[in-house]
Amino acid sequence: MAKKFKIYTLGCKVNQYDSGKLASGLIKAGMAAVEKNADIAVINSCAVTKTAIVKSARMIKLAKKENPEAKIVLAGCWPKTEEIKNNKVGADSILKGTDVIKFLTKSKIKKNKNNNLSKQTEHSRYFIKIQDGCEQFCAYCIIPYTRGKLKSRGEREIIAEIKQAVEAGYSEIVLSGIHLGLYGRDRKDDNNLVKLLEKVVKINKLGRVRLSSIEITEVTDELIKLMAEFNKICKHLHIPLQAGSDKILKLMNRPYDTKYFKNKIEKIRRAVPDVAVTTDVIVGFPGETEKDFRDTEKFIKQIKFSRLHVFPFSAHEKTPAAKFPKQIDEKIKARRAKILRDLSVKLAENYKKKFKSKELEVALEQIKQDKIIGKTEYYFDIEFKKSQVINQEFTENKKLIGKIIKIKYI
């Protein structure tokens, strides 16, 4: 009987992609994916913050509860940040920089040119990792230590995987990476993100392509021009701000100030007027006064982001920021986070309003009787009825999941 496995994933889209690749490899090796009572439970951990480590530890306990007889394997970023004893966290094996597939199957799985996809839970969007690693060393971030130096995948390999994903029925491809904007910088073939995108948009049957996240300093004139020119590139950029106070940005070791950020956003919007700009913000960074926080809140309103991801400061103990003076009380962090999350709701509502009575292209994610749910190219989710579908006969056929259709937003 085939061995059964379950993978528990924490953290970013890159981690989720890696888990999908692991699942695909284990299935190719003859193992079976299950929801409970697995023989092997793999925790693909995250260690970006103290909170993430706590969640990873809880996931080990959950895995043991769901799979009492299973061998528990801890992998991912947590083991790369510190030495962890098996009996300390309850894992049977802790893998640090090991080929997990080879460790579990005692063999290395060869790539299959005809099917090399990451097994993913998404039905309409395929996340593909095109690069790994980061060398920015922000004061609060452990990722450069866990993910290492920049490592970009070859263009041919990426294009081939995207073509396979399109043939498998995915209508939207999301280019993902730890430091996406620096794709190609570590290679000798003179490739970069813009050159890759120019080839991706020409792939036959591709619905659209989206960038997962990119630094403001890497949104080049060439990238802006490409976004304005090709409808296949989603009019959405996720650009981490982290703080709207120049003092805090400097303490964070971020490579820009608010003036630079604002000017670049204005430049993007001149070329792509309706572009959605989402962002990440950290509240309660060491030394953040009430004035610094209010400066951030004011700057966010000024930029008019379409959505915020808000994180109370919780740096890994090995990052410089964890040792900074003037650490902020947890209650203050929680209050500031709530203020910005409430603001995010208002910003999202205001952004959506500009599309009322307009036509939108939506990637279908769920069909429930007369209620249909999908994601627009502008990154917001939308619920609509069959009567809103434009120039297309619409049925409840589940095969439509993942397809892009045009609707009237009312």
Helical (H) or strand (E) element with 271: helix 258-271
Answer yes or no: is 59 within a domain. Answer: yes
Q: How confident is the model at residue 63 (pLDDT cuts 50, 70, 90)?
A: very high
Residue-wise over 314-341: b if at least 16 C-beta within 10 A, else e? bbbeebbbbebeebbeeeebeebbebbe
Residues of the domain holding 383: 359-408
Cβ-based burial of 189 (10 A; exposed 0-12, middle 13-18, buried ≥19):
exposed
Overall average pLDDT of the 69-87 stretch = 85
Is residue 343 in a domain? no
The span from the CA of 249 to the CA of 158, in Å, is 34
Tens-digit pLDDT profile for residues 10-28: 999 999 999 999 999 999 8
d(C-alpha 158, C-alpha 199), whole Å? 10
- The answer on pLDDT for 392 being more than 70 is no
Count: domains in the chain:
2
Pick from 22-31, 44-53, 113-122: least confident? 113-122
Q: Is residue 255 part of a domain?
A: no
Residues 289-338 have pLDDT tens digits of: 999 999 999 999 999 999 999 999 998 888 999 999 999 999 999 999 99
End residue of a domain, out of 77, 105, 133:
105
- Domain for residue 373, yes or no? yes
What 8-state DSSP symbol labels residue 387?
A: G
Check residue 154 and give its pLDDT: 95
Average pLDDT of the residues of the chain: 91
Q: What is the pLDDT of residue 251?
A: 98
Choosing from 78, 105, 132, the residue where a domain stops is 105
Which of 71, 105, 139 is where one domain is finished? 105
- pLDDT confidence of residue 282: 98
Phi, psi of 182, deg, nearest 5: -100, 15
- Residue in 225, 224, 367, 340 with CA at minimum distance from that of residue 279: 340
Query: Quick one: pLDDT band at residue 132, thresholds 50, 70, 90?
Result: very high
Q: What is the CATH number of the domain that holds 68?
A: 3.40.50.12160
Residue with tokens 């309660």: 284
Give the pLDDT of residue 366: 83
Q: Report yes or no on 70 lying in a domain.
A: yes
Q: pTM (2 decimals)?
A: 0.91
Classified as helix, coil or strand, 69 is coil
Position 28 in a domain: yes
**Separation CA 60–CA 43 (nearest Å):** 7
